[in-house]
């Protein structure tokens, strides 16, 4: 049984705690927050015995084996490295780092301390991604793919009234690419690897972070278009288009069903069944990887490629 501590008490941390409760391979034994009130509130809801307000105490504790890092994006590097140096396995919420160089450093620290580091990208561990990969041969030679994640933020209206939230804060490494575009980028790199080249364009908000953006990535013989936004909503589906047909699905974050549409008119739908809480799959995978650390390599390689793509996109169209 893998014993987890949780850094953070946000909604994503709540979803993680609920997922742990569904797993027979893990349990939550501690939660960290800057205030004891938040730690107690969270722990009471999810039946977690440990409540901690010191990161140093968290890193040195022997009461758990692994840490789920769900702090603001800008803290991921610092918090993960501290836990890795404390000999804790780390499952860090996406984006795992703010650039590829940070991730390289984190992986070196993990190796030096004999522990596992993995990005908590729930879509990368879901049955839907594996189902999508297995269906690629049915559409023939790939010529185009389009991955879309345009989701109007629940915080955008108050942001427009002058409030500042972490997700729209440059200081906290917010923005649409880090929050939503990463789903598109990681699906792309998981399926096709790193592109030969790319172009990118972003719309920046008053705080200097991107509210939306687009990336066109070039591969050998095909293009991939990525569209992501926190300031508009889209019903446009994702699709992988080949010479013999297309694979169509709603979101890159949760692939629950895939429509196979052949060029000859044949159609069928593939249902990707499983837990409603997609985090269950990443927890199960992480627990397995802790026992066999070499299994982390393909996931970390994909995270490195995704960070490289995001670095290139940010450099291609930086804020004015």
pLDDT band at 274; cut points 50, 70, 90:
low
Q: Which of 104, 120, 136 is the last residue of a domain?
A: 120
pLDDT at 164: 85
Q: Which of 56, 91, 120 is the last residue of a domain?
A: 120
Q: Region 274-301: what's the mean pLDDT?
A: 93
Q: Are residues 63 and 159 in the same domain?
A: no
Supply 253's token pair. 């974050």
Phi–psi pair at 214, nearest 5 degrees:
-145, 145
Q: Are residues 114 and 181 in the same domain?
A: no
DSSP string, 186-221: HHHHHHH-S-SEEEEEEEE-TTSSEEEEEEEEEETT
Q: Are residues 159 and 268 in the same domain?
A: yes
Q: What is the domain extent for residue 212?
A: 124-279+306-316
Alpha-carbon distance 143 to 224, whole Å?
9
Q: Are residues 78 and 221 in the same domain?
A: no
pLDDT digits (tens, 9 = 90+) for 57-96: 999 999 999 999 999 999 999 999 999 999 999 999 999 9
Q: Are residues 112 and 199 in the same domain?
A: no
pLDDT digits (tens, 9 = 90+) for 203-260: 999 999 999 999 999 999 999 999 999 999 998 999 999 999 999 999 999 999 999 9
Q: Are residues 80 and 163 in the same domain?
A: no
In a domain, 223, yes or no: yes
pLDDT at 275: 63
Q: Which of 77, 100, 120 is the last residue of a domain?
A: 120
Q: Are residues 216 and 248 in the same domain?
A: yes
In a domain, 104, yes or no: yes
Check whether 107 has a pLDDT greater than 90: yes
Q: CA 267 → CA 100, 237, 238, 252, distances in Å?
A: 40, 16, 16, 21
Q: Are residues 216 and 254 in the same domain?
A: yes
pLDDT at 44: 97
How many domains does the chain divide into?
A: 2
pLDDT band at 6; cut points 50, 70, 90:
very high
Indicate which CATH number applies to the domain containing 229: 3.30.360.10
Torsion of Cα atoms, 125 then 126 then 128 then 130, to 10°:
30
Check whether 273 has a pLDDT greater than 80: no
Of the candidates 115, 72, 77, the residue with the CA atom closest to the CA atom of residue 96: 77
Q: Region 38-43: what's the mean pLDDT?
A: 97
């Amino acid at each position: 049984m893998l014993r987890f501590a949780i850094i953070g008490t946000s909604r994503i941390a709540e979803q993680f705690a609920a997922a742990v409760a569904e797993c027979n391979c893990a349990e939550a034994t501690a939660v960290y927050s800057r205030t004891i009130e938040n730690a107690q509130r969270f722990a009471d809801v999810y039946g977690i015995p440990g409540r901690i307000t010191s990161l140093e105490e968290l890193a040195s504790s022997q009461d758990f084996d692994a840490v789920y890092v769900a702090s603001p994006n800008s803290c991921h590097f610092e918090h993960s490295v501290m836990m890795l140096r404390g000999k804790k396995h780390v499952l860090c919420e996406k984006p795992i780092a703010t650039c590829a160089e940070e991730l390289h450093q984190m992986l070196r620290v993990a190796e030096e301390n004999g522990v596992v580091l993995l990005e908590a990208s729930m879509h990368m561990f879901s049955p839907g991604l594996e189902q999508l990969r297995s269906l690629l041969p049915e559409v023939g030679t790939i010529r185009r793919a389009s991955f879309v994640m345009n989701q109007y933020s629940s915080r955008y209206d108050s942001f427009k009234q002058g409030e500042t939230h972490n997700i729209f804060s440059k200081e906290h490494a917010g923005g649409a690419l880090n929050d939503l575009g990463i789903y598109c980028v990681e699906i792309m790199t998981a399926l096709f690897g790193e592109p030969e080249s790319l172009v990118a364009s972003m719309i920046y908000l008053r705080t200097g972070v991107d509210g939306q953006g687009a990336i066109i990535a070039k591969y050998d013989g095909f293009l991939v278009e990525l569209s992501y936004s926190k300031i508009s909503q889209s019903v446009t589906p994702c699709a992988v288009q080949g010479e013999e047909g297309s694979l169509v699905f709603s979101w890159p974050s949760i692939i629950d069903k895939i429509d196979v549409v052949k060029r000859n008119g044949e159609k069928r739908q593939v249902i990707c069944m499983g837990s409603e809480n997609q985090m269950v799959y990443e927890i199960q995978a992480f627990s397995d990887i802790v026992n066999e650390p070499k299994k982390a390599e393909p996931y970390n390689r994909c995270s490195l490629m995704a960070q490289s793509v995001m670095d290139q996109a940010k450099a291609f169209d930086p804020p004015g």
